[in-house]
Structure 1
Amino acid sequence: MAQIQVAYTSIIDRAFVLHGKLLEGKLVPGSSLYIPLDRYSQLAGAVSRVEYQDDAKLWDIVIVCPDHEEAELLEMLIIHDEVLEVA
């Protein structure tokens, strides 16, 4: 299991992208990213692609959505500065 601290998010076409610092573990495509909604529930997204921004020292985790509207809904969660689990 990996943990990433989210610095910021963005939308590129139909993809929701989390940009953050890897705190522990290894990030691999095909794993699941878990976004807590409240104390009892969480949203899971399939990691499609993982890239490293060498200049910013941040990882990009790409979750491809079925449409642009779903990517916009994910960005509305405002998960900046949160630590998320990837497994």
Structure 2
Amino acid sequence: MKLIQLRAIRAFNTYAKSRDLDIDEAIFARHFEAILALLERYALWLQSGRQAHNLVAPIDTAATAPFPLLDPRSRDQYLRLLKLYLF
């Protein structure tokens, strides 16, 4: 796997955990609807002015500091890679 693929998967897993969903457990339990719903919210979150903290580490001392939007190509690549990983 390429580094960008691993980053996309890690970012989604971190997002899922912040929303109280363990992706691995959801897959094994065949809760695909929950994964799809989370993926939709994740895509919206990536497109919007994301708030709170960076998925890997805080980028500012303020918990509500917005961080920059992803370039649309990067966002689309993350989502495409997640689709390949999950389906």
**Structure with a larger share of its residues in helix:** 2
Question: Which structure is larger by alpha-carbon Rg, 1 or 2?
Answer: 2
TM-score (normalizing by structure 1) = 0.27
TM-score (normalizing by structure 2) = 0.27
